Chains A and B, each alone.
Chain A
Amino acid sequence: MYPRSFEYVSPGSLDEATSVLASTEGAKVLAGGMSLLPLMKLRLFSPDVLVDIGRIPGLSSIEDRGDHLAIGAMVSHAATASDSSIAEHAAALATAASWTGDVQVRNQGTTCGSIAHADIAADQPSAALALGATMVAASAGGVREIAASDFFVDTLTTALGPGEILTEVRIPKQGGASAYEKLGRRGGHTDYAVAGAAVWLDVSDGAVSSARVALTGVGAKPTLAEGVAEALIGTDGSDAAIAEASERALEGVTVLDDLFGTVEYKAHLAKVMTRRALQQAVAAAT
């Protein structure tokens, strides 16, 4: 299956890439292509111009910048999954990356690409939300930072403008602990999430002092489950407290059914995954 014809541009610098995007109608950024190319082959999407950012130097590293980690636009899922600083400071993202796609997809696809594509059942967007990440977007007009909580707008829709490239995801080094749990469409952790939950929390003096919980797979976009965090903060993080807080996972979420589950089933799963992820994070934080 061939995609429709398009023009291919392979810029040598970020400035060149953003100026092509600014001056070209119907241009789309190509990174790993693991989401974009299947859509193009099915002809569900046919951009006129592809701007391949794969040859721009400096986009393939994970940097520790003291108070945050920066994941470049061309960092593969496999690299995110196996990086020691991400494992230490952002375990939820490391786990989510290790459960994204399959081996070949993880070798070729990128963490930033998964986040910019914003599939409703992708793993890493929810981890970015729970970890309070900041997205860095470059365009011909300059660079801006977007909080994860403002980034995911709707199904396959983010705050990125047509002329912007997600050049970097920044994860704060904030202490505490994080975890990700999911049920995959092919069972276990394989394939997209039927439902998944990413959590970050901190514990001080025997009580949960702060928490963020994000769901994937159940609604139209990755969503913060603020009710769970609210219910958990101030408790001792016991199994009973976690179970009670997890019951609030779907407050404010419209659960969508799909081929992989009914509304009722997915709502149940979301609570189970929230509970399991919280238990792991509490165990890791204490």
Chain B
Amino acid sequence: MHVSLTVNGQRAVTDVEPRTLLVHLLREELGLTGTHVGCDTSYCGACTVILDGKTVKSCTMLAVQAQGAEVTTIEGLAANGDLHPVQEGFWERHGLQCGFCTPGMIMSAVGLLSENGSPSEGEIRHGLEGNLCRCTGYHNIVRAVEYAAAKMRGEEPPAPEWEEGSA
């Protein structure tokens, strides 16, 4: 079937089988392999992308359902060589270890911050409920999102915990 959509600001037109999942269109038709397939059962959130402003699990959506939609993937966040504040937060606060969950985690964090610019720690944890990380224990992911939230509000991010009281 014919599908046309906008991915990271660029129009994409392709022919797919009806059973093609959105994540496979992104990865295999468009070569955007930053979006990961993790559990494949709709639990882990590694495949999270933003579709028409809302986070969705692209492994649990048919490509044909995205006809006409605007999709943002992890590849669409950095602009002109500058990391998105959430990407920068994950870098600066060590919000990852193996990195497999990171693209989905970052897209969910971007979705969360678009609706709530000053989330509490509890709101961050609740907002990332649909994304599983098997390495970090989530602690530094929360710090990464707090860093990004501060940056996006134009404020100085809180100092990293490993520097607090280290003098």
Q: Which residues of A approach B to under 8 Å, CB–CB?
A: 1-8, 10, 30, 33-34, 37-38, 41-42, 50, 52, 54, 78, 101-105, 107-108, 190
Contact = CB atoms under 8 A, between A and B. Distances in A.
Contacts of B48: 104
Given A8-B1, A33-B61, A33-B65, A2 B21 contact: yes
B65 A102 contact: no
B7 to A, nearest CB: 18
A7 B19 CA distance: 9
Given A10-B64, A34-B60, A104 B19 contact: no
Contacts of A41: 21, 40-41, 59-60
A174 B45 CA distance: 39
A110 B26 CA distance: 24
A20 to B, nearest CB: 14
A4 B18 CA distance: 10
B127 interface: yes
A94 B57 CA distance: 23
Contacts of B41: 38, 41-42
A41 B23 CA distance: 13
Contact of A102 (B19, B40, B59, B129): B129
Contacts of A105: 42, 57, 130
Given A33-B60, A34-B42, A52-B64, A103 B21 contact: no
B15 to A, nearest CB: 13
Given A3-B19, A6-B18, A41-B40, A103 B61 contact: no
A116 to B, nearest CB: 17
Question: Nearest 8 pairs between A and B by C-beta?
Answer: A102-B130, A8-B18, A107-B54, A102-B129, A104-B130, A104-B57, A3-B19, A1-B40
Nearest to A50: B18
Contact of B60 (A37, A50, A54, A103): A37
With a 10 A CB-CB cut-off, give which of B45, B48, B65, B108 has the most chain A CB atoms: B65
In the complex, which range does the number of interface residues on chain B fall in? 20 to 34
Contact of A107 (B1, B42, B55): B55
A104 B56 contact: yes
Contacts, number: 78
Contacts of A190: 129
B17 interface: yes
A8 B3 CA distance: 12
19 contacts: A1-B40, A2-B19, A2-B21, A6-B19, A7-B18, A8-B18, A8-B62, A34-B60, A41-B60, A102-B129, A103-B108, A103-B128, A104-B45, A104-B48, A105-B42, A105-B57, A107-B54, A107-B55, A108-B54
Given A2-B21, A37-B42, A107-B54, 4 more contacts: A41-B41, A103-B128, A103-B130, A104-B55
A8 B130 contact: no
Interface of B: 1, 17-21, 24, 40-42, 45, 48, 54-57, 59-62, 64-65, 67, 108, 111-112, 127-130
Contacts of A103: 55, 108, 111-112, 127-130
A280 B83 CA distance: 46
A38 B65 CA distance: 15
Contact of A37 (B20, B62, B127): B62
A90 B18 CA distance: 38
Nearest to A41: B40
Nearest to A1: B40
Contacts of A34: 42, 60
Nearest to B128: A103
Contacts of A5: 17-19
A164 B57 CA distance: 28
A54 B59 CA distance: 18
Contacts of A38: 41-42, 60
A212 B97 CA distance: 49
Contacts of B111: 103
A175 B99 CA distance: 51
A41 B18 CA distance: 13
A50 B18 CA distance: 9
A34 B40 CA distance: 13
Contacts of B40: 1, 41
